[in-house]
Amino acid sequence: MKLLRTSLLAPLLLTFGLCLITSSGGSAPSLVAPEKDFETFWRTYKDHYAFFGLHQLDWDQVYAKFRPVVTARTTPAELEATLIEMVKPLEDGHITIARGDKFIYKGTSRRHSYKQEFKEVQQDYWQTAYQNLQAAGFEPVRGSGPTVGKYQTLYVAKSSQNLGYLRLTRCFAELSGVMGTTRQEKQDQQRLLGLFDAALRELSGCRVLILDLRGNGGGHSGKEMASRFALSRRLTHFTAERQPGGYEQFTPLQPYYLAPNPALTYQKPLLILTNDGTASSAEELALALYQQPNVTTIGDATAGMFSDMYQARLSGKISFTLSHQRYFTPDTTLLEGRGVPVKELVPYSRPDLAQHHDPVIARALALTR
């Protein structure tokens, strides 16, 4: 699963005696649970979702199509199926619907060739990367940090040519479940940064560092980790947050700056490896460092799913999330659906993998020479 930075705003809209207003000015009977939940879901998206225009979906037409389907007799399973059908066309990786601690729907962003092409061969994908490193003089890659699912938090290796390799598999340490509380996320951030800093100190003597973010689905602390590599304070991006009152109603652009971390910095050449499996906080890390003069990005553009996840709840322990922020480059280009571009575009296909060749690692190693 993928845990992401959250805005735990959880509005319980329309759940307190919502009524339909008749044409004569009177009130129809109060809506029952399935109808209330539908209205809450639809209204939360109407007021907070940021990308209806980008995905070319008329949300009012969605209401007209699906509202008649939901009645007092609609079962929880039928309602869940309806909600999923409503949001599927948005192709947004930050859209989720969960029952308790179990996802019943997770959206997929439009840019997801990494997941499509390499989903069934993940073990071979990473084994090939590590074998290519060893062939170039690196020691065997070793894991560091807690295991969640298939991956440990960090994978570290050094080479005889004084090169370093650091793979960050995710941007969280130990969080489990659909969402963590603010307190849990803060604790997890401290744990993640502690692991990251320990690895960075170990590699601090290397003349070049390769930071592998491929397939990293996100979490938190992207900007904090990026500060460890900053040479100078720079504007990295703008954000704007969706507001009720219109589909293009947003807060003013908020600038974000990256400055060197006073406690720990690595200011030598940094090669960042990304692909369209690099998402959320991981691509925020890449975005924050993109303009630093010591940084070269290699591979493919990131996924293009930047927003924090706005969370709301329905009855029956159902919760859902959506994208409510827009991220922009310093020249105000929208990043959603585009991702952070790379300076060195290196395609990677299944035939490469079949030949036990990682072209992205190969290009990074060539640049170190």
Region 145-172: what's the mean pLDDT?
A: 93
Whether residue 189 contacts residue 143, with contact meaning beta carbons closer than 8 Å, is answered with no
Q: Give yes or no: residues 202 and 241 share one domain.
A: yes
In-domain check, residue 102 = yes
Question: What is the CATH classification number for the domain harbouring 13?
Answer: 3.30.750.44
Region 350-369: what's the mean pLDDT?
A: 97
Q: Give yes or no: residues 174 and 76 share one domain.
A: no
> Tell me: the pLDDT tens digits for 308-326?
999 999 999 999 999 999 9
Placement of tokens 């209204």 in the chain: 43
Q: Give yes or no: residues 141 and 267 share one domain.
A: yes
pLDDT of 15 strictly over 60: no
Q: Please count the residues of the chain.
A: 369
pLDDT at 4: 36
Six-digit token string for 237: 């991006």
Q: Give yes or no: residues 24 and 160 share one domain.
A: no
Of all residues in the chain, the percent with pLDDT exceeding 70 is 91
Q: Give yes or no: residues 159 and 300 share one domain.
A: yes
- The chain-wide mean pLDDT, for the chain, equals 90
**Kind and range of the H or E run holding 242:** none
pLDDT of 8 strictly over 60: no
Q: Give yes or no: residues 285 and 139 share one domain.
A: yes
In-domain check, residue 351 = yes
Least confident of 14-23, 78-87, 266-275, 353-362: 14-23
Among the candidates 74, 106, 138, a domain finishes at: 106
Among the candidates 87, 106, 125, a domain finishes at: 106
The residue segments making up the domain with residue 220 are: 113-306+325-368
Q: What are phi and psi of 182, to 5 degrees?
A: -60, -40
pLDDT at 2: 34
In-domain check, residue 193 = yes
> Tell me: the pLDDT tens digits for 214-233?
999 999 999 999 999 999 99
Give how many domains the chain has, as a whole number: 2
Q: Give yes or no: residues 77 and 127 share one domain.
A: no
pLDDT of 11 strictly over 70: no
Q: Give yes or no: residues 280 and 199 share one domain.
A: yes
Among the candidates 79, 106, 133, a domain finishes at: 106
Spatial separation of the C-alpha atoms in residues 138 and 159, rounded to whole Å: 4
- Nearest-10 crossing angle of helices 59-66, 33-48: 170
Of all residues in the chain, the percent with pLDDT exceeding 90 is 83
pLDDT of 202 strictly over 90: yes
In-domain check, residue 130 = yes
In-domain check, residue 31 = yes
Q: Give yes or no: residues 101 and 235 share one domain.
A: no
- In order, the DSSP letters of 7-51 are E-----TT-SS--PBPTTS-BPPPP-HHHHHHHHHHHHHHHH-S-
pLDDT of 50 strictly over 60: yes
Q: What is the 3-state secondary structure (H, E, C) of 270-339?
A: EEEEECCCCCCHHHHHHHHHCCCCCEEEEECCCCCCCCCEEEEECCCCEEEEEECEEEECCCCCECCCCC
With a CB cutoff of 8 Å and minimum separation 6, the contacts of 97 are 80, 83, 84, 87, 103, 104, 105, 318, 319, 320
Q: Give yes or no: residues 68 and 145 share one domain.
A: no
Spatial separation of the C-alpha atoms in residues 81 and 254, rounded to whole Å: 37
Q: Give yes or no: residues 203 and 337 share one domain.
A: yes
In-domain check, residue 262 = yes
Q: Give yes or no: residues 47 and 178 share one domain.
A: no
> Tell me: the pLDDT tens digits for 279-299?
999 999 999 999 999 999 999
In-domain check, residue 1 = no
Whether residue 326 contacts residue 334, with contact meaning beta carbons closer than 8 Å, is answered with yes
In-domain check, residue 317 = no
Question: What is the CATH classification number for the domain harbouring 177?
Answer: 3.90.226.10
Placement of tokens 């619907």 in the chain: 97
